[in-house]
């Protein structure tokens, strides 16, 4: 899909996970459509690469190294976004982590990290962003996954975290249903990003349990998801609230 010029003119967009994959693609896409983008991530080098890509295209991007699992860090990042640009119109909680492992080998730290980043990262973003989004009559987009709908072997904590994001979205949508804000989620299927290309799996898996987690149409590109985000976050999607949009090539249709 072609960039829609000026669709985001005058809009301020906050993106987590902006150093890589879909977060970076979304930051670049929205900047190309006129947004003033504030990107956060734990990866400072990746943020610098995103900044260089947006700068060279003439877009507007500022960033802050932020751990989305930390409440204070997220509130400070949202505060800095509003201090930098004066408002907040769209917040996208895209940062996430994934692991493959046997249930029995999950440690306390691994469980806490998975929940802290994938669920906490969405919750703290919502908590910090919503007061500003109510002022701007803006919207919040959380990143779930097909793993929030399907039971997938060998990624049990990841599936649990994404299932939580699905219902976090719905619960937030109901709490704010009488107020001028939209809250939705995007649930990708398999997407070609560093998360999938660097995905390590234990050697001793039963691969017959893992058939078809990618689906018959194969992997999406990060830009496919940036396209959907750009539409969902725009005023064109003004009646979409409390929705979980699958963008998975039909993976969860069966
Ligand atoms: N790639 C896929 O196939 C796929 C499928 C479904 C859902 N998703 C979800 O989409 C989102 C983006 O995934 P991606 O494929 O672009 O991954 P990615 O690994 O390319 O990017 C994720 C980014 O999140 C950042 N991050 C990790 N922990 C963080 C933390 N504590 N604080 C701040 N930033 C942190 C990473 O540094 C990285 O830049 C994730 O929520 C992921 O679970 C991905």
Q: How many CA atoms lie within 13 A of 165 on its CB side?
A: 38
Q: State the Cα–Cα distance between residues 195 and 158, nearest whole angstrom.
A: 13
Kindly report, residue by residue over 49-85, the tens digit of the pLDDT.
Answer: 999 999 999 999 999 999 999 999 999 999 999 999 9
The CATH number for 38's domain is 3.40.50.720
Phi and psi at residue 65, to the nearest 5°: -70, 125
* Residue 2 belongs to some domain of the structure: no
* Residue 139 belongs to some domain of the structure: yes
The reply to whether ligand 1 has any atom less than 6 angstroms from the CB of 112 is no
Kindly report, residue by residue over 198-208, the tens digit of the pLDDT.
Answer: 999 998 999 88
The reported pLDDT for the residue numbered 191 is: 96
The reported pLDDT for the residue numbered 1 is: 67
Which atom of ligand 1 is found nearest the CA of 73? 32
* Residue 4 belongs to some domain of the structure: no
Instruction: Output the six-digit token pair for 21.
Output: 């994959």
* Residue 3 belongs to some domain of the structure: no
The reported pLDDT for the residue numbered 210 is: 83
* Residue 252 belongs to some domain of the structure: no
Of 53, 165, 192, 193, the residue with max ligand 1 atoms within 8 A of its CB, to mutate for a pocket test, comes to: 193
Ligand 1 centroid to residue 178 C-alpha, Å: 31
Which atom of ligand 1 is found nearest the CA of 113? 31
Ligand 1 centroid to residue 104 C-alpha, Å: 24
* Residue 30 belongs to some domain of the structure: yes
Number of domains in the chain: 1
The reply to whether ligand 1 has any atom less than 6 angstroms from the CB of 113 is no
The reported pLDDT for the residue numbered 254 is: 83
Residue ranges for the chain with pLDDT beneath 70 = 1, 212
- By CB atoms closer than 10 A (0-12, 13-18, 19+), residue 172 is buried
Q: At what angle do helices 121-136 and 71-85 cross, to 10 degrees?
A: 30
The reply to whether ligand 1 has any atom less than 6 angstroms from the CB of 54 is no
Q: State the Cα–Cα distance between residues 186 and 144, nearest whole angstrom.
A: 6
Of 16, 28, 53, 96, the residue with max ligand 1 atoms within 8 A of its CB, to mutate for a pocket test, comes to: 96
Domain residues for the domain of 206 are 12-247
The reported pLDDT for the residue numbered 195 is: 95
Q: Model's pTM, two decimal places?
A: 0.98
* Residue 253 belongs to some domain of the structure: no
- Are residues 3 and 76 in contact, defined by beta-carbon separation less than 8 angstroms? no
* Residue 59 belongs to some domain of the structure: yes
The reported pLDDT for the residue numbered 2 is: 83
Ligand 1 centroid to residue 118 C-alpha, Å: 9
Ligand 1 centroid to residue 108 C-alpha, Å: 21
């Amino acid at each position: 899909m072609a960039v829609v010029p000026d669709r985001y003119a005058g809009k301020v967009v906050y993106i987590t996970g902006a150093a890589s994959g879909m977060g970076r693609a979304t930051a670049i896409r929205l900047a190309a459509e006129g947004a003033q983008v504030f990107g956060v991530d734990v990866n400072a080098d990746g943020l610098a690469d995103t900044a260089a890509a947006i700068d060279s295209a003439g877009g507007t991007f500022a960033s802050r190294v932020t751990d989305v699992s930390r409440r204070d860090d997220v509130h400070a990042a949202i505060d800095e976004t509003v201090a930098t640009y004066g408002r907040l119109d769209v917040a996208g909680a895209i940062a996430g982590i994934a692991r493959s492992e046997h249930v029995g080998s999950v440690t306390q730290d691994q469980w806490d990290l998975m929940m802290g980043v994938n669920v906490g990262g969405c919750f703290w973003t919502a908590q910090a962003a919503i007061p500003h989004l109510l002022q701007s009559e803006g919207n919040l987009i959380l990143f779930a996954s097909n793993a929030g709908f399907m039971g997938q072997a060998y990624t049990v904590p990841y599936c649990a975290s994404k299932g939580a994001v699905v219902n976090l979205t719905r619960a937030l949508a109901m709490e704010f249903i009488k107020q001028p804000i939209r809250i939705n989620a995007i649930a990708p299927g398999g997407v070609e990003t560093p998360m999938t290309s660097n995905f390590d799996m234990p050697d001793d898996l039963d691969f017959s349990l893992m058939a078809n987690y990618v689906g018959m149409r194969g992997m999406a590109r990060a830009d496919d998801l940036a396209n959907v985000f750009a539409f969902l976050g725009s005023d064109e999607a003004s009646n979409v609230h409390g929705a979980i949009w699958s963008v998975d090539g039909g993976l969860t249709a069966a």
